[in-house]
Every structure is written in structure tokens, then in C-alpha cells.
Structure 1
Amino acid sequence: MKNIRLCFLALFTIATSGYVAAASNARQETACCAQAADIISELHSIVAPGGIEIEEALRIGGIKQFVSVRGRDSNNPVLLVIHGGPGWVSSPISWWVSQGWDEYFTVIHWDQRGAGKTYTINDPDVVAPTMTRQRMDADVDEIVQWARSRFDKDRIFVLGHSWGSILGLALAERHPEWLHAYIGVGQAIDFYESERRGWRWTLNQAKAANNSKAIEELASLSPYAVKETRPLLEELLLQRKWLNHYGGAAYKRADAGFESAAFRLSPIHSVEDVSLIFEAQKFSMTHLLGAAMEVNFGSLNCLETPMFLFLGRHDYNVSSTLAAEWSRALESPYKEVVWFEHSAHEILAEEPGKVFITLVEKVLPIATDTSGFIKGSSGNANLRCNAPRKMTRIEKR
């Protein structure tokens, strides 16, 4: 990513003859980013009477976990954002991706166990044994319960992106009574099928471009992501290398560096916080990637809460077509797929304006449903799923 390449370039320069100038430039860059973050902080400040602006370390699952909460009116519905990854925090770029949301929602950005500022304020050696899918699900339950109690709401909205969509959809299945609606962004359904589709698409792009190196490296993975064999991390990274190159993760971009570069402008993260974000992401990926590989929601065909899917038309990182296909057979009180035509997987950053408008125009009305929004839809407002609910629906491969 761009900021990592710049860091490596700076380190190389320091290691050679120009170390004094390089160090000076690095200090100037840090100072400029700090000044920009101060400006963003002031622009972002909530001054409305009754507004909410909180940065807090909660006690969740036996450790401190960081949340950032913003809202102009405490009467507004609550929206919890469950970030992707594992470990790809959204709070450092919330000033960009969720700009304006706090005028209509009380928005909670939460740095999950092992990620972002939660990683920074805990001992990784203590946290490491607790980095399991079961503990992450329990953390989700705890933070939702905290939000409902803290803001005096029977129900809240939950938005899950990518890895967060695994945690979010599982929550919606476990506790539909806690939610106004669930919003899945870049929704994960079946890891193996998604990986196979992404690999095939990427190989086709390489062939169309006559890229012999890409063709050779991708072909070396065949058969890729078969049920009998879990892909090795290096295989996954090789697939992602070329998938990213052809814009399968960020549309028309070779990587998501445009997002990570914005971490340095965060008004709620220190320089130290930002410097540890990628260390935390590696920590999270190391412990949770296997859990992400095991998830399959293919057998989930009934959900007792309204559901929206925000899908990037060009998302091959987590197959958007697979999520759309799955949703067609799903029973729910209300469901809608919203396509983002100029996005791949990083929808929140790629089309923030359309995300905002969609949340306000399509999602928000469900909080009151005074217009009969759900009852007037093709869904079943009184739907009750007959199948016994489970904590998760995981199909071992």
C-alpha cells in the first residue's frame, strides 16, 4: 500500500547518505498530517445541543475495547459499524466514510478485539488466546447490549463490512429482536466459492491482458480453494496480489492504499495508534483468518429481521454475485440488494455519497415504519423462522 511504500522509501533513504534530510522530511510530514487531523477534528466537532461525541474504552469480554460514538441528536436511531478484515478498522477513516451519518443516526465505530486502538491498549500476549470466532460473536453480543442500554434503545441498526458481515449476519440470525435491520456491505457468504470465483475472474483478466507472469502465478494455484484443502496464506496472498492489481478489491485501482493513507489524518488516533494499525491487522489475520475460511451461510434461508445488502458491482474480493444469488432464496420481513456501480469491495470509501443517501432514504425509515414501509413490501412483516436458531452456521470444509 502507498503509505507502506513511502515508509520503506524513507527508511532506505535514511540508511544511505541522506539520513538527516530524510528524517527532517519525515518529521515535517508527520507535523503536516497532525495539522490536517486538527483541522478535520474541528470540522468534525459536534456542537449541537444534546449531541453525542464519545471516545471510550469499554470493558467487553474481559478486555478494554475502543469505541467512537457520534450523533447530533440522542433521539436518533443507533447504528453500529462492525468493521472488516479481520483487523481492517474503519474508525480512523470514519471522518471520511461516514461523513454526515451522525445527523441521522448515533453512529458507533468499534475497534474489534485485536484491532486498531483496542490492540494498542491491551497486551497482545494476553489477548491472543481469546482470538476465536466464538469470542468475537460474544463480543458483538456484548457491544450491542451495551449500545441498547447506553442509549436506551430496544433495537439498533447494525452494518457489517466484509469480515464484519460474517459477525453481523450471525448476530442478525441469533438476535433479530435486537435489530431494526441488518446492513451487509460486501457480504461474505461462502469463502471457498467466493475465492474460486475471484481466482477465475483474475485469471481471465490476466489472459485478456496477455500478462504471462500473472497467468503463470495464478495457474500455479490450481486447483484453488477446493473443499478438501484450505488455501495456505501465501496462496491467498498470491491470488489477492493479482486480483487487487486488476481492480477486484478497489474498482479501477491497483490496491486500497487510498484508504490506508487516510489513517494518518484521523482526528481520533495518535501517531502511535496509526503506526500500529498494520501490526494489529497482521495479529488479527493470523488468529482469525482460519475462522473466516470456515464460514458458509449457504444454508441460512430465513432471517427474522429486515436486511439490506450493499454490493459493489465489481467486487471479486468477496463475490458480490454470490451474495446476490444467496439473497434471492432468503425469506425475511424485508430485503433489498443495492448495487454500487462504481465500487468493488471498498464500497464505503469508493461511493460514500451513495452509501449515505441509501442509509437515509432506504434504511432509516425502518426505525419507525410509520409509512408501512415493511408491511407494504413483498416481505412478511410477521415472519418467524421455523428452523431452530444456532449461534453460527459453519460448514466444515
Structure 2
Amino acid sequence: MSKTREDSVAIVADMRRVVTDHGVERLEKVRIGGIDQWVSIRGSDRRNPVLLMLHGGPGWVSMPTSWYFQRGWEEFFTVVQWDQRGAGKTYASHDPDAIAPTMTRERMVADAVEMVAWLREAFSQDRIFVLGQSWGSYLGLEVARQRPEWLHAYIGVGQISNAPESERRGWAWTLEQARQDGNAEAVEELMSLQPYAQGTAPVPLDDLFKQRKWLNHYGGMVHNRRGGQAEAAALWLAPEYTDADLAAVWAGNDYSMTHLLSGVLTLDMTTIRELQTPLFLFLGRHDHNVSSELAAEWFATVDAPCKELVWFEQSAHEVMNEEPGKMLLTLVAHVRPMATGAEGPGASVRRCRQD
């Protein structure tokens, strides 16, 4: 008998249901930045350290695919997925025209700071972990810079560094792949974008999408795949999402990109040379969507209480989906020990090393 989406989602939801004695499994709206914003909070023991994941995009939510990559994390962290302003379930809950004036980088950073403050209070924990992926790595790095005393550590995945230079390197790499492939159509289209991402002027979105079409085609976003279709299809199995929420994902993604993406691509985060919180970077060796090579160059210049860069050799931009096992092991073995206070039990197992 064929299964409906409702049937399939029920299977996923039941398999990952939290049934442990001290577990937490919540899907709710939180008042952040003057509007209701949706969070999923899941973990096997609410006494575990809190880990807030800041999704990419802007507008590309990670809550609806977290059923795939996150289940193991929940045994060691209380994991919070948050659909940011203008994205996912939060987008679906508001009139887009009403919140449009608030769709600014400054407001998004303030929302992230406010979310961390709410989690600290809700779970009675002075410090939490913040993991930022892609666009979320801009927000996360700003939180780490502004409120280091609130964090055990900051983890950057697909970390934004110098965005204009990343765009230029991504374009050059894609053109090289197209020429090696003898793909005349791709070469012609990419060459038509010249000069691409010159200076610090915003890249027109039409140009960006043309570049990304071929970058994705050659595995610059997902290693050895031609784009993110598998991840996009996985949204269909999201227990947190209604049919209406799913329909809103794409509208929210377009909406957030329209308001925020061009500005993000002008950012140069390499001016940050010092952090007061431990720094981890998880970088896909084949990431040309947001240059991992460039992020590694920035990492070498940063002074932090301790820092560690972990390469994911079989990944591009979607590390948590491409190498979920290594992601879990790295979070548990390298990151989680940072939750032990300097004076607390187990302090000797802190592994983050100063490079």
C-alpha cells in the first residue's frame, strides 16, 4: 500500500521521539525581536549543554532536515533549531509586508543575540554553544564577538570570511571546471558575467544565480552531487512542518534572499582578528559555495582563547548532511568538552588547542 506524506512523517516522528527520563521535545513560538519565531528544542537530557544552530540561506531553514543529521547530537546536547525572521515556519506565521522593514542584517543579529539570551534563561545555563552554518556563520560570529561571555564556544560551518573574494574564487573555480569539461554553454554563461564580484559592490542576484547554477553542477555546494536536490527533497519528511509550512519554505527562502543576500555578499569578516570565546571551524574541503580555503586563511589570523579547524574531506558546503558521522564525532569529542568550566569536574579533558 502506498504511503502518504502524513504516513511517512508519522514514521519518522515516532522513530526519533524523545522518550528518555530527562528528555525534552518542544516545538513552539518564542517572542524574539517583537515577533513570534518558531523553535524546535530536542534532547535526551535537558541538563546537557544547549547547542543553538543558526541556519544558512539567508532563508534556507535547517529544522526540516534536522531529522536526518541531528538525531545523534541530541544524546549529547539540547539542540535548538530556529526558523529565523522571514524563513520557514516563522515566515509562514506573519504577513511578509509587515515585517519587511525589519529584514535587515542589524535586526537579524539582534534576534540571534536575543535568542541566546532566551535560551540561557530558559535552561538556566550561563553559557551555550552556537553553531552557525553559511549565512548563519555571519550571525554566529557576530554573537561570538558581541557576547563571548554567553558562549562555551562558537562553531562555524561553511564559514563566511571575505564574501566578495569568496565569490570571485567560486566563479574562477567553476569556470575552470567548465573548461576542463568542454562545457561550452557553461563557459559562455560564466564569461558573460565578467567582471564578476569586482570590488565590494553587491553582486546582482541574477548574476549570482547563474554562477551558482554551474557551481552546483560541478559539486561546489555538495561534493560529487549536482546541487542540493537530495536535501530539498528531504524536507518532505519533516515532522515539524505542515503542508502549508512546506509550501512557505520556498517563498520564505526567496523573500529572505531578496532582502538580505546581496548585502551579505559584500561582507568582509576577516577584519575580526580576535575573539574572546573558543573558536571551531568545520570546513568542507570541496566547498566553493563559501570558500573553505579562504575561511582557513582567515582562521590562521584569529587570536582566540583556543581554536581548532577540522577539515571534512568528503564534503563541500553541506557538512552536516555530507558527513553526518564525522560531524557527530567531532561535536562530541572536540566541542562538547568545552562546556566543562575551568574550575569544574573534568576540566582536564578540554581539547580545543591553540594553533
Q: Is contact 1:132–1:291 with CA below 8 Å preserved after alignment?
A: no
Unpaired runs of 5+ residues, structure 1, are: 1-27, 380-397
Report how far residue 229 of structure 1 moved.
3.6
- CA distance in 1: counterparts of 2:200 and 2:49, whole angstroms: 45
- What corresponds to 1:69 in structure 2? 41
- CA distance in 2: counterparts of 1:287 and 1:64, whole angstroms: 19
Report how far residue 134 of structure 1 moved.
0.7
- What corresponds to 1:129 in structure 2? 101
Deviations 1:353-377 (A, max 9, x none): 1101100011001100524355983
Q: Is contact 1:198–1:243 with CA below 8 Å preserved after alignment?
A: yes
| Pairwise CA RMSD | 1.4
In structure 2, the CA distance between the partners of 1:135 and 1:42, relative to structure 1 (3 Å rule), is: same
- CA distance in 2: counterparts of 1:376 and 1:345, whole angstroms: 23
TM-score for the superposition, normalised by structure 2: 0.96
- CA distance in 2: counterparts of 1:326 and 1:64, whole angstroms: 36
- What corresponds to 1:218 in structure 2? 190
**2:127 is the counterpart of 1:155:** yes
Deviations 1:108-143 (A, max 9, x none): 000000000000111111111110001001100111
- What corresponds to 2:226 in structure 1? 254
What percentage of residue pairs aligned between the two structures are identical? 52
* Counterpart residue identity of residue 240, structure 2: I
Q: Is contact 2:24–2:45 with CA below 8 Å preserved after alignment?
A: yes
Report how far residue 203 of structure 1 moved.
0.5
Match of 2:263 among 291, 308, 317: 291
Report how far residue 298 of structure 1 moved.
1.3
Matches within 5 A, 1:67-216: 67-216=39-188
**2:11 is the counterpart of 1:43:** no
Q: Is contact 2:220–2:287 with CA below 8 Å preserved after alignment?
A: yes
* Counterpart residue identity of residue 353, structure 2: S
Match of 2:31 among 32, 56, 59: 59
- CA distance in 2: counterparts of 1:178 and 1:231, whole angstroms: 35
- CA distance in 2: counterparts of 1:94 and 1:375, whole angstroms: 27
Q: Is contact 2:286–2:314 with CA below 8 Å preserved after alignment?
A: yes
- CA distance in 2: counterparts of 1:228 and 1:362, whole angstroms: 36
* Counterpart residue identity of residue 122, structure 1: H
- CA distance in 2: counterparts of 1:92 and 1:203, whole angstroms: 33
TM-score for the superposition, normalised by structure 1: 0.86
- CA distance in 2: counterparts of 1:149 and 1:228, whole angstroms: 39
Partner of 1:147: helix, strand, or coil? helix
Report how far residue 378 of structure 1 moved.
3.2
Q: Is contact 2:202–2:266 with CA below 8 Å preserved after alignment?
A: no
In structure 2, the CA distance between the partners of 1:124 and 1:100, relative to structure 1 (3 Å rule), is: same
- CA distance in 2: counterparts of 1:286 and 1:119, whole angstroms: 14
Larger Rg: 1
In structure 2, the CA distance between the partners of 1:213 and 1:32, relative to structure 1 (3 Å rule), is: same
* Counterpart residue identity of residue 87, structure 1: G
Report how far residue 230 of structure 1 moved.
2.5
Match of 1:276 among 248, 262, 266: 248
Matches within 5 A, 1:311-350: 311-350=283-322
- CA distance in 1: counterparts of 2:239 and 2:87, whole angstroms: 18
How many pairs does the alignment contain? 351
